[in-house]
Chain A
Amino acid sequence: MSDTSKTSLLALTPRTKARNAAEKRFRAYGIAAIAVGLMMLIVLVTNIIGKGTGAFQQTFVTLNVELLESKLDKKGNRDLDDIKKVTTFGYNPLIRGAMEAKLAEIGIETDMKGKDLEGILSKGAVGQLREYVTTNPDKIGETVEFRFLAQSRVDGYLKGRVTRESIENDKAISVEQLELVDQLVDAGVIVKTFNADFILGADASDQRPEAAGIGVAMLGSLSMMLVVLALALPIGVAASIYLEEFAPKNRLTDIIEVNISNLAAVPSIVFGILGLAVFINYMHLPTSAPLVGGLVLTLMTLPTIIISTRASLKAVPPSIRDAALGVGASKMQSVFHHVLPLAAPGILTGTIIGLAQALGETAPLLLIGMVGFIASNPPETLVDGLLAPNSAMPAQIYEWAKRADPAFYERAWGGIIILLVFLVTMNTLAVILRRRFERRW
C-alpha cells in the first residue's frame, strides 16, 4: 500500500499545504502591489496639494491713491488721448505718495526712500492704476481706494517661503522692507486672502509672478477641447460605424484596422510636427492658435475614439440587429435606431477619456507655438478664442516651472491642481455615464 491511501480529509497533505501557501503568498503580493500604488498616489497628491495650495492665496496691500491731476492730466481737459500719453512709469510717484500717506496715517516711521516703499508692491500696480484711470478719467483729482498685489517676495514672506536669512543676498527685497511689512500686517494694510485671479487671470511676465493666473490658458484648453469634440467625435464615430457595420471583411479593411491601432501608439510629438508642417506651413493657419492645437489633438484623439467606439458597437448583441432587420428596418435604420443608442454610453466614455488625454498633452503644442509668454490677452469672442494666440493649461504649467523666480514654481503646482480637478471631473463623468446608461446582456 502506498502512503496516499492514508490521507485524511482532516489533515492536510504537504502538497495541499504548499498550494495553500502559494496562494496566500500570491494574495500578499497583490496587496503589496496595491499598497505600493496607493502609497505613490498619496505621496503624489500630498506633494501637489502641499506645494500648490499656496498659489490660491495671495498677499494684497490696500492703499488710498490720490489721482493727482498734475501728474495724470497736466492740461486738465480730461482728454483721453492726453491721459493715455502718461505711461505706467508716470504712475510710480502716485503709488509712492499713497504709501507714504498710509504710513503717516497709521503712524509708522521709517527712513526708507520712495523706491523701497514702492518695492513692497507688485510691479503690476502701476498698470492696474493706469487701467483704472483710462477707463474712469472723471475720477482724476479724487482719492480712490485700491487693492494692489504685494510683490512675490513679500507674498513668499507671508507664506513662509521667504525668510530674513534667505534674502541675505537678494536685491529684490531687504530686511528693512520685511520689518515694514510686519508692521503693515499688524495694521491690517497687508492681508493674505483667497486669490480668484489665479484661476481666472492671464499670464504675467517674469517680473510679476504674483499677478500670473491660469484663466486664459484654461480658455485656450477649452477652445481646443471644443475643436477636438466637434471634429474627432463625428469623424471617429462615422469611421467606426462604417468599419464595424458596413465594411466588407477583406485585406484592405484589415490593413486599415491595424493602422488605426498603430496610430494610437504614435508619440504625440509626431502629431505636433505634422501639425506644424500641414496646418501652419502648408494651410497657413495662424500660429499659436487653439484652432491648430485642436486640430493636432484631434488627430491624436481620433484613434482612441475609433477603437473605443468599435469596441462598444461590437458589444451590442447581434440579436438586436437581427430583430431590427427582421421587422423590415434597413441596415442604416437598424444601426442608427437600435445599435448606436445602445452603444452610446461606451462611445461617450471613450470620447471623454480621449479628451482628458488630449487635455493633458503638452508635447505637440511646443511645436505649434503655444508655449511661451502667450496667454496674456483674454479672448473676447468664440472666433477670437479659436484664432487668437493662446496657450493651454499643461503648456502654461511647463512654462511656469522653468521660470527663474521661485514664486512661479508654486504657481506651477497650483496649476497642476486645477488641471487635475479637470481631469478627475472628466473621468468621473465618464464613469457615471457608463454606470447609468450601460446595459449588459
Chain B
Amino acid sequence: MSFVKLTASALAIAAVSATAAAARDQVQVAGSSTVLPYASIVAEAFGENFDFPTPVVESGGSSAGLKRFCEGVGENTIDVANASRAIKEKEIKACAEAGVTDIIEVRIGYDGIVFASDINGNEFAYTPTDWFLALSDKVLVDGKLVDNPNKTWADVNADFPAQDIQAFIPGTKHGTREVFEDKVILAGCEATGAFEAFLHNAEGDSDKAKKKAAEKACIALRTDGVSVDIDGDYTETLARIESNKDGIGVFGLAFYENNTDKLQVATMSGIVPSTESIATGEYPVSRPLFFYVKKAHIGVIPGLKEYAEFFVSDEVAGSDGPLSEYGLVADPELVKTQEAVSAEAVLGGNS
C-alpha cells in the first residue's frame, strides 16, 4: 500500500529532523521592523561577499525580538536581536535569568521620524507645540487644563489652513511611538507650559513620582478619533492617507524617501528632515537603532562575528554606504562601535 510508503517516509523525515536539528550554519536575526530593511541589506551583501550563507532576518518588533533573544543560549535561539530602542534593565535581567549574560550592544546609526501628508494637500511647518496642542488629551487654556477643544489645524496655529486634524500615529507596540511621545509631544507639553500645570496637579509621594505622573499626563493623547493608532506598518499609514487626504502620518525617513511621489514631508521647527539634517542634530525627531549580539554564540554559529563586523564597517554603515543611501543616518561615532565589536565588548563590562 502507498500508505505504508508514506508513513515510512514520514517517519524518515522525523528521524532526520531529530539528528539535523543540532546543526545550524546561518546567523539568525529577529526583531524591530524598522531595522529589518537595513539588516536585510546587510545580510544580502554579507551572503554575497563571504562564504557563509545569507543570514536569516525575521521581523516582529523590538520587544518580541529581545524576548526571543533572552530565551537562552543554544542553537535554537536567535543570535542577534534588532531593536529600535536600547535594551531595558528589565530585559537584561530576564536575559541573565535565562543564562544570556554577555550581550554585545551595537549602535548602527540613527533613524529619522518624519511627518508627511498627501502630496497634493496643504504644506505644514510644525513645531512640537503644534502637535501637542493638536493631539493631547488636555491642553492649557487661560491657565486652566481643559479637554482639547481644537478641531482644525487653524485652531492650533493661526498660520495653518483650516484643515481637520487627522493624525495617523504608530501604535503603542512600536518603538517609534516612544520617540514620538518623547521628542514631540513631551517637548510640546513643556513648551506650552502644560507640563507645569500637570506637575502642579500631580499626585505622588516624591518629586520624582510627581514628575513621572506629569510626564504620563503629558503624553496622554485624545481619544475622540482625531488621532488614530496604526499598529501595522508604514504601508498601512500610507494607505490611510491615500484614502483620507486630510490625514497626516508619522513615517520613518527611509519610507518617505521611497514614496516621495505620494507624500510631502513637513518641516519640524523649521528644519527639513534629511539624513544630513539628522546627522547634524538640527532635525530633532530621531532615535538610535541597535542590534544585540549573544557573545556565547560567537565561535559557535559560523559567521556571527563577521556579520556584526561587516554591519558596522565603513563600507556598509558609513556615510557613503548602502545603509545611508537607503535612509539610515550614519553614526558619527562609528569607529568606536567598530572597535567595541571587534573587541567583543559586552554590556555592563568596562572593556
- Interface residues of chain A, those whose CB is within 8 Å of chain B, are 84, 87-89, 123, 127, 130-131, 162, 166-172, 204-208, 227, 229-231, 233-234, 237-238, 280-281, 284-288, 291, 336, 366, 369, 371-374, 376-377, 383, 386-389, 401-406
Partner pick for A406 among B59, B78, B258, CB 8 A cutoff: B258
Tell me the nearest residue of chain B to A119, going by C-beta: B325
Q: A127-B45, A207-B37, A372-B40 are in contact. List 10 more A-B contacts (CB 8 A).
A: A130-B49, A162-B261, A167-B260, A168-B260, A168-B261, A280-B76, A373-B39, A373-B57, A404-B234, A406-B261
Contact B3 A234 (CB under 8 A): yes
A229, B2: Cα distance in complex, Å: 12
Contact A404 B255 (CB under 8 A): yes
Q: How many A-B residue pairs have CB under 8 A?
A: 152
Contact B30 A372 (CB under 8 A): yes
Partner pick for A234 among B6, B254, B325, B326, CB 8 A cutoff: B6
Partner pick for A387 among B20, B60, B255, CB 8 A cutoff: B20
Minimal beta-carbon separation of A286 from chain B (angstroms): 6
| A373-B56, A377-B47 as given contacts; A230 in contact with B10, CB under 8 Å | yes
Interface flag for B54 (CB, 8 Å) = yes
Contact B325 A207 (CB under 8 A): yes
- Chosen A-B contacts, 30 in total, with CB atoms closer than 8 Å, are A84-B51, A87-B49, A87-B315, A169-B260, A169-B264, A205-B37, A205-B45, A207-B41, A207-B322, A207-B325, A207-B326, A208-B44, A227-B13, A233-B3, A234-B7, A287-B76, A288-B58, A366-B60, A371-B59, A372-B56, A373-B36, A373-B43, A374-B57, A376-B56, A387-B16, A387-B20, A389-B56, A404-B37, A404-B255, A406-B259
Contact A372 B57 (CB under 8 A): yes
Contact A285 B21 (CB under 8 A): yes
Minimal beta-carbon separation of A163 from chain B (angstroms): 8
| Chain B residues with CB below 8 A from A166, complex form | 260-261
Tell me the nearest residue of chain B to A233, going by C-beta: B6
Contact B30 A130 (CB under 8 A): no
Minimal beta-carbon separation of A100 from chain B (angstroms): 20
Contact B3 A237 (CB under 8 A): yes
Contact B37 A371 (CB under 8 A): no
Interface of B is mostly: helix
Contact A88 B258 (CB under 8 A): no
Partner pick for B58 among A206, A234, A372, A406, CB 8 A cutoff: A372
| Chain B residues with CB below 8 A from A238, complex form | 3
| Chain B residues with CB below 8 A from A388, complex form | 26
In the complex, chain B residues 69-92 whose Cβ is within 8 Å of any chain A Cβ: 71, 75-76, 78
Contact B17 A387 (CB under 8 A): yes
Contact A376 B54 (CB under 8 A): yes
Contact B37 A403 (CB under 8 A): yes
A65, B80: Cα distance in complex, Å: 38
A383, B23: Cα distance in complex, Å: 12
Contact A130 B48 (CB under 8 A): yes
A404, B255: Cα distance in complex, Å: 5
Contact B260 A374 (CB under 8 A): no
A340, B257: Cα distance in complex, Å: 61
A366, B43: Cα distance in complex, Å: 20
Minimal beta-carbon separation of A108 from chain B (angstroms): 25
Contact A373 B17 (CB under 8 A): no
Tell me the nearest residue of chain B to A399, going by C-beta: B59
A255, B246: Cα distance in complex, Å: 56
| A127-B48, A402-B233 as given contacts; A205 in contact with B13, CB under 8 Å | no
A193, B270: Cα distance in complex, Å: 46
Contact B235 A401 (CB under 8 A): yes
Contact A284 B76 (CB under 8 A): yes
Interface of A is mostly: loop
A231, B16: Cα distance in complex, Å: 15
Contact A230 B76 (CB under 8 A): no
Q: B1-40 toward A: CB 8 Å interface, digit per residue (1/0)?
A: 1010011011001001100110010101010000011011
Partner pick for A287 among B7, B28, B57, B233, CB 8 A cutoff: B28
Tell me the nearest residue of chain A to B12, going by C-beta: A230
Partner pick for B10 among A231, A372, A374, CB 8 A cutoff: A231
A377, B233: Cα distance in complex, Å: 26
A406, B258: Cα distance in complex, Å: 7
Tell me the nearest residue of chain B to A130, going by C-beta: B48
Q: B241-277 toward A: CB 8 Å interface, digit per residue (1/0)?
A: 0000000000010110111110010000000000000
| Chain B residues with CB below 8 A from A169, complex form | 260, 264
Partner pick for B6 among A130, A230, A286, A372, CB 8 A cutoff: A230
Contact A206 B261 (CB under 8 A): no
| A130-B49, A285-B21 as given contacts; A204 in contact with B13, CB under 8 Å | no
| Chain A residues with CB below 8 A from B233, complex form | 402
Interface flag for B288 (CB, 8 Å) = no
Tell me the nearest residue of chain A to B256, going by C-beta: A404
A401, B59: Cα distance in complex, Å: 14
Interface flag for B284 (CB, 8 Å) = no
| Chain B residues with CB below 8 A from A87, complex form | 49, 315
Contact B20 A383 (CB under 8 A): yes
| Chain B residues with CB below 8 A from A374, complex form | 56-58
Tell me the nearest residue of chain A to B37, going by C-beta: A206
Contact A171 B257 (CB under 8 A): yes
| Chain B residues with CB below 8 A from A231, complex form | 10
| Chain A residues with CB below 8 A from B24, complex form | 286
Partner pick for B40 among A171, A371, A373, CB 8 A cutoff: A373
| Chain A residues with CB below 8 A from B236, complex form | 402
| A287-B28, A403-B37 as given contacts; A205 in contact with B21, CB under 8 Å | no
| Chain A residues with CB below 8 A from B259, complex form | 404, 406
Minimal beta-carbon separation of A172 from chain B (angstroms): 8
Contact B57 A285 (CB under 8 A): no
Interface flag for B53 (CB, 8 Å) = yes
Minimal beta-carbon separation of B86 from chain A (angstroms): 22
Contact A386 B40 (CB under 8 A): no
| A206-B40, A285-B17 as given contacts; A377 in contact with B53, CB under 8 Å | yes
Tell me the nearest residue of chain B to A168, going by C-beta: B260
| Chain B residues with CB below 8 A from A284, complex form | 21, 76
A234, B21: Cα distance in complex, Å: 25
Contact A206 B76 (CB under 8 A): no
| Chain B residues with CB below 8 A from A291, complex form | 13, 17
Partner pick for B44 among A171, A205, A401, CB 8 A cutoff: A205
| Chain A residues with CB below 8 A from B10, complex form | 227, 230-231, 234
| Chain A residues with CB below 8 A from B13, complex form | 227, 230, 291, 386
Minimal beta-carbon separation of B312 from chain A (angstroms): 15
A208, B37: Cα distance in complex, Å: 11
Closest 4 CB pairs of A and B: A166-B261, A373-B40, A372-B58, A206-B37
Partner pick for B28 among A130, A227, A234, A389, CB 8 A cutoff: A389
A403, B235: Cα distance in complex, Å: 7
Partner pick for A205 among B16, B30, B41, B257, CB 8 A cutoff: B41
